[in-house]
C-alpha cells in the first residue's frame, strides 16, 4: 500500500454506547466504512456500553472514558489527550454531550476538522440550544438526521444553512426482515394475544404516559390486545404505579432493554410511537423492515418516513384519544394494516439501506478534507 492509499484516521465521539437509536446509528456507520479508506476509532464519554462489543469484534478501537458528568473539564481534557495521541483527520461527534465535549477537545488537541451529528429537535430546554450555537464556530459541518431537524437547527439555533446537511438513518434490512418471531410465552404474554409494541426510553420525550392513556381507552373493545414496552428509563417507576392503579398488570408488559428486538417485532401486530418530539426515529425504519404496521405521532422526521397513509397511520402528538383511535383503525382492519406494512417494507428496502447512508457520510468526509480547516479566533 502506498502512502496515497493509507487509510485516513477518523475518530467518533458519542455520549454513551448503551442501546439507543443514535448509538446504533453510529455503530452501523462505523462498521460500514470502507476500511481501505478509513481507519476509525470510537470514544464514548460514559461507562462502557454493550454496543462497544460489535465495534471491538470488528477490530475497531473503543475507548470509554467512564464519566457520569459528561461535560466536566476533566473528561474533556482526557478526550483531548486521546485525540492528540491519535491525530485523526476528522472527528465526527454524535448527541449533545458528545458534540460539545468533542468540539472543545478537538480544539485543544489540534484536530483540523470536526463534524457534529444533530439527532433531535431538542425541546426540553433552550439551554442546550444556546450552548450548541455558542460552540458551533468550532465545527466545520453539522449533519442532521432529518429535514425537520435541519430546519429546527437553522431557525432555533441560528446555524448557517451552508453548515447544515441532511443524512437520514439507515436500517439493516435483512436483520429485521428475515428475523424469526420471538415466543410470546417466553415473554410472559398469552400466545393468542394481539400485541402492540413500543420500543425506546421510558421518558417524557417518547410519550410513554400518553401511550398508556391511549391504551386504557381500548381494552374493553379488544380483549386480546396487549402492550409491550422494550426499553428502560426515568419513568419506569411511575409507569409501574400507573399500571397497578389501573389494574392492567396482565395486559401491559415492561420488558426492559433486550437484544432481540427484530424477533420481538416479528411477534408483534403493530408498532406504536407516541413521541412528543424526535429527529428521525430508527425504530420506525426497523418496524417497517420487519413488516409490521405502524401508528406514530406526527413529529420531526416521522412524516419524512411515513409520507402517506399507505405506509402507516399518523396522529397528532400528546393526544391519547387520537392515538387510541389510530390503534383502533389498525386493529379493526387487519387487511389494510398488512397492506400498509408491505408497502412500507418495500419503500425502506429501496431508500433507507445502511450502504447508502454510509456512502453519503464517506462523500461528506472526503469533501471536508478538501476544505481548509475551521478558523476560530
Separation of alpha carbons 120 and 98, rounded Å: 14
Which residues are bridge partners to 196 per DSSP? 227, 270
The pLDDT of residue 377: 54
List pLDDT tens digits, range 214-254.
999 997 788 899 999 999 999 999 999 999 999 999 999 99
> Residue 301, Cα to own-chain centre: how many angstroms?
11
DSSP string, 231-256: B--TTHHHHHHHHHHTT-TTTEEE-B
Top pLDDT among 303 and 287 is at 287
Which residues are bridge partners to 315 per DSSP? 297
Separation of alpha carbons 151 and 292, rounded Å: 30
Q: Is pLDDT above 60 for 188?
A: yes
Q: What is the DSSP letter of 146?
A: S
Nearest to 44 by CA among 99, 112, 118, 85: 99
Q: Which domains does the chain have, with CATH numbers?
A: 3-170+354-369 (3.40.50.2000), 173-351 (3.40.50.2000)
Length of the chain: 377
Nearest to 95 by CA among 170, 39, 45, 32: 45
Global confidence as pTM: 0.83
Q: What is the DSSP letter of 260?
A: -
List pLDDT tens digits, range 266-284.
999 999 999 999 988 999 9
Amino acid at each position: 500500500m502506498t502512502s496515497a492509499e493509507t487509510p485516513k484516521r477518523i475518530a467518533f465521539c458519542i455520549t454513551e454506547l448503551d442501546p439507543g437509536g443514535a448509538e446504533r446509528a453510529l455503530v452501523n456507520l462505523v462498521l460500514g466504512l470502507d476500511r481501505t479508506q478509513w481507519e476509525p476509532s470510537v470514544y464514548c464519554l460514559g461507562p462502557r456500553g454493550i454496543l462497544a462489543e460489535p465495534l471491538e469484534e470488528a477490530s475497531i478501537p473503543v475507548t470509554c472514558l467512564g464519566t457520569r458528568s459528561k461535560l466536566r473539564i476533566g473528561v474533556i481534557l482526557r478526550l483531548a489527550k486521546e485525540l492528540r495521541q491519535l491525530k485523526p483527520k476528522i472527528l465526527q461527534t454524535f448527541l449533545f454531550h458528545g458534540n460539545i465535549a468533542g468540539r472543545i477537545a478537538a480544539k485543544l488537541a489540534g484536530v483540523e476538522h470536526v463534524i457534529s451529528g444533530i439527532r433531535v429537535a431538542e425541546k426540553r430546554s433552550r439551554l442546550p440550544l444556546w450552548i450548541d450555537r455558542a460552540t458551533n464556530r468550532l465545527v466545520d459541518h453539522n449533519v442532521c438526521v432529518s429535514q425537520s431537524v435541519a430546519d429546527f437547527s437553522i431557525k432555533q439555533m441560528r446555524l448557517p444553512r451552508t453548515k447544515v446537511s441532511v443524512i437520514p438513518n439507515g436500517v439493516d434490512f435483512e436483520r429485521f426482515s428475515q428475523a424469526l418471531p420471538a415466543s410470546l410465552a417466553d415473554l410472559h404474554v398469552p400466545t393468542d394475544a394481539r400485541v402492540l409494541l413500543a420500543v425506546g426510553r421510558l421518558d417524557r420525550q417518547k410519550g410513554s404516559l400518553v401511550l398508556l392513556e391511549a391504551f386504557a381507552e381500548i381494552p374493553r373493545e379488544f380483549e386480546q390486545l396487549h402492550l409491550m414496552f422494550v426499553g428502560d428509563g426515568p419513568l419506569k417507576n411511575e409507569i409501574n404505579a400507573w399500571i397497578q392503579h389501573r389494574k392492567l398488570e396482565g395486559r401491559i408488559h415492561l420488558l426492559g432493554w433486550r437484544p432481540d428486538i427484530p424477533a420481538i417485532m416479528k411477534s408483534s401486530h403493530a408498532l406504536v410511537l407516541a413521541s412528543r418530539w424526535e429527529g428521525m426515529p430508527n425504530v420506525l425504519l426497523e418496524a417497517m423492515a420487519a413488516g409490521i404496521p405502524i401508528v406514530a405521532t406526527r413529529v420531526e422526521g416521522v412524516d419524512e418516513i411515513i409520507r402517506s397513509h399507505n405506509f402507516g397511520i399518523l396522529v397528532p402528538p400528546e393526544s391519547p384519544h387520537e392515538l387510541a383511535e389510530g390503534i383502533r383503525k389498525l386493529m379493526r382492519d387487519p387487511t389494510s394494516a398488512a397492506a400498509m406494512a408491505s408497502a412500507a417494507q418495500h419503500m425502506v428496502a429501496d431508500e433507507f439501506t445502511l450502504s447508502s447512508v454510509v456512502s453519503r457520510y464517506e462523500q461528506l468526509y472526503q469533501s471536508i478534507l478538501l476544505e481548509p480547516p475551521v478558523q476560530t479566533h
